[in-house]
Structures are given as structure tokens and as C-alpha cells.
Structure 1
Amino acid sequence: MAAAVALGEAARGSTAPNPNVGCVIVSPAGDIVGRGATAPGGRPHAEAVALAEAGNAARGSTVYVTLEPCAHASERGPRCSDLLADARPERVVVALKDPDPRTAGKGIERLRSAGIAVTTGTGRKAATASLSGYLTRLRLGRPRITLKLALSIDGKIALPSGESQWITGEDAGRHVHLERARADMILVGRGTYLADAPRLDVRLPGLEERSPRRALLTRGDAVDGWEILANPQDVYRLHDVNDLLVEGGSATATAFLSEDLVDRILIYRAPIIVGEGKSSFGYVGLDVIADAHGRWRPADEQRLGIDRLEVYERVRSA
């Protein structure tokens, strides 16, 4: 299942609105005979790709897939639950049941009705993390929103003049580009657009084509090559976006935090002190310190050259 999750994770940012699923097929002898991930644009699905590679070797095999095989009809391709039933594996191991009401247990039922053993829950935690954008969109009706900030030790994002390039170093910059490759859309505010003219593309060798769509938070005029969101609540209109990366600046970060729309924060902290300068956030709707506690949990921390990455996730009730 870990291999299936890795395949699905590599497809993240290219499959929306479909989930970035991974699939591995193992023969009775223990050999991997098929591998697949959801293709760019969402079709073919991971199971279809893996089954095509496995061919007749899929019969009697064990199939590992990160999300329940689809059970709904589509003009774009066959039901994966039907493909698997026809391929006759011995067992299908599913990490997560699909919350999409068009499938939601029907895929597993289809397999079991065909006499195929189905196991669920294996690799659930890793699959949930990899599919978090899709799962968030199904649960909350909007993309999973990640806020990225580059800060000094004392929490500044720029000098008083507004200069902010470059707070962090090359290693942190490469990590940011990897995060971009995993996103379906990147958003900045009008101020950042006017001050920095950001390209917001992916500049990692081999991943240049993974540059996501660009969005601008503004009530102003449209800009060629950019999609416009008039306010943070417009994210609920992004039905074809699983993962949204918000890159700046302070007013935009504050606006999304004030609306409680941020699910994950990436802080790239550089070993510098700015002193007087521009703060990362403005007023986010809290008047009592006690209300700030328990809202965020540390999820990860790592060194990136001389910089440090801190990852925080929003704590939400189920």
C-alpha cells in the first residue's frame, strides 16, 4: 500500500477534480505486475492503468488501491469496480472508502458481489494525507487551502520598504516549487501581484509542466492569464480544484485566516532578524488569547539548508 500511496502522491496536483489515486497489483508469487496512478486530467483512473499493465497476470492477484474503486457511470471511462470484477483478482485492499455519494460503498459492494475478497483500512493514515485535497473538497465544498509564508526569526515578511526577496534560501525555494507542483491553483493578493509580478510557476527540472493555475484575490479588473476571486468565500466556487496554495501577502493571508479557511500553514523561517518591518498577519478575529489555543497543531518540522520549515494543520471537529 505504501507504494500505491507514493504513486498517487506523485500525481497530486494534476488530476483535479478527480482524486489522485495510486494502485499496485501483486501476483500470487509476490511480484508486482501492475502499477498505476490517476492520469493527468483525471482519466484513466489508477486501477485502469495498473490493470492494463498487468494484463492476464491480474487474475488471482492482490490489488492495493488508495481509494475505493469507482462505481458510477461516466462518459470518460468505465467503472473501475467493473474492470476489477472482470479481471478476477483474489483480493482487493482498499485504504479509504470514497465519500463521493456516487460510489460511497457501492464499489466495494460490486467487488464482493463478484466473489472478490475486500479489505479496507490498510494504509488509511497515509492515504488520507495524500488525498486530503479531494477529501476536503468532498467534505467542506471547497479546496484544501494551504497558506505559505516566508518569515524572519522575528516573524516579519518584509522590510518597511516592502522588500521581501529573498528572505529564505535556495533549499526553501525548491521546496516551495515542489508544493506548487502539488497544487491545482496558486493565489496571491493584488498587492503582491503589483509589487512582485510573480510568475508562480514550477521551476524544478522535469516538473515545469506541473505549474498550476494562477488566481488573484482582487475586486479590481480582470488580468490576462489569471482567475479572479473577489473575496476568500469565492473558494466555494472552485469545484474543479482540490488543492489551493495561498502565497501572499499579509493582507491576503489575514483575509483567509479571518474567514477560517486555512487548513494548513507552511512557515519557511530564515535565520535573520528584520526588526521593524511588515508583519505576517493583521487582525484575524481573536480578542482573547485563550481562544487562540487548540486551533492549530504542529504537523511537521524540518531543516531546509539554513532555513527551517514549520508545518501546522487546523484542528477541526469531525
Structure 2
Amino acid sequence: MDRALELAALAEGRTSPNPLVGALVLDAGGQLVGEGFHAAAGQPHAEVGALAQAGERAKGGTLVVTLEPCCHHGRTPPCSEAVIAAGVARVVVAMADPDPRVAGRGLAQLRAAGIEVIEAVREAQARSLNRPFLHRLATGRPWGILKWAMSLDGRTALPNGVSQWISGPEARSWVHRLRARCDAVIVGGGTVRADDPLLTSRGQRQGEPLRVVLSRGLDLPDQAQLWNTALAPTLVAHGPEAPAQGRSRLERLGVERLELAACEPDALLEALAARGCNRVLWECGAELAAAALGQGCVQQLAAVVAPKLLGGPPARTPLGDLGLERIDDGPELKELALTRLGPDLLWNLEL
């Protein structure tokens, strides 16, 4: 199962809206004869790939898979039928699939066909691997990561607004890898105006994540790197109050536009979940970051701290007002990891 989990992780960032799944097949004598993982939505599932590699040697053997085989027709046929047809004697599963289209029915089909089913092997690890997928199913929103880079004195820019580069090349490369694991990268209109960001993974994955701008007034520049949709897709989301002039500008630029019921982080994440996003990255300014935190749209923090002193107004900080009156009222954070990235330190924290 540890090997199956390793296989599943190979496709991180590429399977949404599907989960990460890895599988392997042992023949009747316990020898490894097939491996597979779900590489992308619409491509064969892990079980099918492993069974195809095993061929006739799967008969009487064991299938080890990180998630309950599906039993419904989607972009691909039901995996449960393929498992039964392969003639395996045993299926070992890390966790049941909470998707209501499956939810135990896949395992029931296997048992009804006379296959021995063993459940909950490395279940905690499997759930951790698919935490974004499970979070979307449970809440109707993608898993949100809020990332920022700041100086040792807590500033995200100089008093004149210059912010490139606070962190070093190692930290910036790490951010590119982080983007590659996400389905969308979100900023506000202020970040587009101030920084003209590119927001790509710099080729770390095939098919760049969706670049999203949440803008109330659509007062966006005519020229911006984000408008080059040949490089990566871009979506501009706004509320019903957005002016007609701004809407027309986006249409002229050929950028996709989405009207939300309200120009708020929670409404945006519900719309992104409907598009199949499992995990999103907030790379926004202080006010939008505070709003995203306040509306429960952030589950994880990634804070890069550079050994630099910038000084200047306290407003040049990663977060806007959280409305706190006592220090103990702040969000409770759990440390996941503290990592050195060249001269910088990365705090990975979970809410």
C-alpha cells in the first residue's frame, strides 16, 4: 500500500476533479506484476492501468488500491467491473470513496462477485494524500492555501510599493512547484495593478493552473501578463455591481469573465469547486487575504520569511484587519513543517 500511495502522488495537481489513486497487482504467488496510477481526469483509472499491465497474471492474485474502485459510468467505465473481469481473488483498499456515486457500492459489488475485500490499510495516509478532494466533497469548496513572502520585520513591500524580490531564488522555485500542485491561483485586482504577475508554474506541469482575478470594480489595466491566455488560462470573477465598461474591456481582451452572486471569496470558491477545482492557491494582497481567512476559504498557510529588513508603513503586511480584539481570538494554527529554502524560512501551517 505504501507503494500504491507513492504511485498516486505522482499525479498531484493533475487529476481534479478526481482524486489521486494508485494501484498495483500481485499474482497468486505474491509477485508484483502490474502498477498504475490515475494520471489525469479522463484518462484510465489506476486499477485499470495496473490490471492491464498484469494481464492474465492477475487471475487469483491481489489488487492493492488506495481508493475504493468506482462503480459508476463517468468519463471512463466502472473500475469495479474491470476488477471482477480480471479474476483477482482479493482487493486491499486504503479507504472507501466518499463520492455519493460510489460510497461503498464499489466494494459491495466486489464482495457480491466473491472477491475478498480488506479495507482501511494505511487509511490515514490515503486520506491525507486526498485531503483537497475530500474537503471539496464535504464543504463544496476547494482546499485553500494562502501563501505570502515577507521580510523579517513582517513587510511584503517597500514603502514605495516595490516587492520584487523579497524571497530568494530557491523560495521562488518552491512557489512554482506549489502552483503546479494547485488547480487555480487567485489574486485581486490590486495585485494585478501593482505587480503585473505571471502566476504560472514556469513549466512545472503540463497545462498551467487557472489564473483567477477577483475584482469588484474591474478597474484592471489594458496591458497585463495575465491577459496572455495562450500561456495559461485566465478567469476574471466579479459581482453583479461590476461596471459595463470593465466587462466590455475583458470581452475585447478575450479573457473569460464570471459573474458571481457576490464579489466575495466564498462565492468564488463555490464557483471554482463547480468547475472541478480541488485545491487553490491564494497569492493575493492583504485585504483579500483577510477576507478569505474570515470566510473560511483558507485551510493552510505557507509563509516565506526572508532575512531582510524593509521598514516602512505597517500597512505593507500580508494581512488586513481580522477584526480581533484579543490576541487569543486569532485563528488557531498547527505547524506542519518548518523548511529552509536557501536563505529563507518556509512556515507551513494548518488552520
Q: In the aligned structure 2, how far is the partner of 1:127 from the partner of 1:19?
A: 10
Q: In the aligned structure 1, how far is the partner of 2:127 from the partner of 2:169?
A: 30
User: What is the aligned residue count?
Assistant: 310
Q: Which residue of 2 aligns with 1:52?
A: 52
Q: Which residue of 1 aligns with 2:344?
A: 307
Q: Structure 2: which amino acid aligns with 1:270?
A: A
Evaluate the alpha carbon distance shift between residue 192 and residue 33 of structure 1 in structure 2; reply closer, same or farther with a 3 A threshold. Answer: same
Q: 1:257 aligns with which of 273, 283, 293?
A: 293
Q: Give how far 1:81 is off.
A: 1.1
* Higher mean C-alpha displacement, 99-108 vs 270-279: 270-279
Cα RMSD (Å) of the superposition?
1.8
Q: Is the 8 A contact 1:72 1:103 kept in 2?
A: yes
Q: Structure 2: which amino acid aligns with 1:312?
A: L
Q: Give how far 1:210 is off.
A: 4.1
Q: Which residue of 2 aligns with 1:248?
A: 284
Q: Which residue of 2 aligns with 1:119?
A: 118
Q: 1:220 aligns with which of 217, 222, 225?
A: 217
Evaluate the alpha carbon distance shift between residue 309 and residue 103 of structure 1 in structure 2; reply closer, same or farther with a 3 A threshold. Answer: same
- 1:235 is the counterpart of 2:243: no
Q: 1:296 aligns with which of 326, 333, 337?
A: 333
Q: Which residue of 1 aligns with 2:256?
A: none
Q: Structure 1: which amino acid aligns with 2:323?
A: G
Q: Which residue of 2 aligns with 1:103?
A: 102
Q: 2:324 aligns with which of 282, 286, 306?
A: 286
Give deviations 1:132-178, integer Å, cap 9, x for gaps: 11111100001011111112122221111121111111111121111
TM-score normalised by L of structure 1: 0.92
Q: Structure 2: which amino acid aligns with 1:269?
A: V
Q: Structure 2: which amino acid aligns with 1:169?
A: G
Evaluate the alpha carbon distance shift between residue 284 and residue 133 of structure 1 in structure 2; reply closer, same or farther with a 3 A threshold. Answer: same
Q: Is the 8 A contact 1:188 1:249 kept in 2?
A: yes
Q: In the aligned structure 2, how far is the partner of 1:177 from the partner of 1:28?
A: 44
Q: Structure 1: which amino acid aligns with 2:208?
A: S
Q: Which residue of 1 aligns with 2:206?
A: 209
Q: Is the 8 A contact 1:202 1:209 kept in 2?
A: no
Evaluate the alpha carbon distance shift between residue 168 and residue 70 of structure 1 in structure 2; reply closer, same or farther with a 3 A threshold. Answer: same
Give deviations 1:101-139, integer Å, cap 9, x for gaps: 110011111111112121222122222222111111100
Evaluate the alpha carbon distance shift between residue 68 and residue 162 of structure 1 in structure 2; reply closer, same or farther with a 3 A threshold. Answer: same
Q: Give how far 1:73 is off.
A: 2.4
Evaluate the alpha carbon distance shift between residue 244 and residue 110 of structure 1 in structure 2; reply closer, same or farther with a 3 A threshold. Answer: same
Q: In the aligned structure 1, how far is the partner of 2:10 from the partner of 2:317?
A: 35
Q: Show the 5 A alignment for 1:17-166.
A: 17-74=17-74, 76-166=75-165
* Higher mean C-alpha displacement, 121-130 vs 183-192: 121-130
**SS, match of residue 248 in structure 1:** coil
Q: Give how far 1:90 is off.
A: 2.4
Q: Structure 2: which amino acid aligns with 1:309?
A: L
Q: Which residue of 1 aligns with 2:257?
A: none
**SS, match of residue 187 in structure 2:** strand
Q: Is the 8 A contact 2:28 2:59 kept in 1?
A: no
Q: Give how far 1:218 is off.
A: 0.7
The gaps in structure 1 that reach 5 residues or longer are: none
Identity %: 41
Q: In the aligned structure 2, how far is the partner of 1:275 from the partner of 1:246?
A: 25
The gaps in structure 2 that reach 5 residues or longer are: 221-225, 239-263
Q: Which residue of 2 aligns with 1:10?
A: 10
Evaluate the alpha carbon distance shift between residue 151 and residue 32 of structure 1 in structure 2; reply closer, same or farther with a 3 A threshold. Answer: farther
Q: Give how far 1:26 is off.
A: 2.4
Q: In the aligned structure 1, how far is the partner of 2:20 from the partner of 2:348?
A: 22
**SS, match of residue 279 in structure 1:** coil
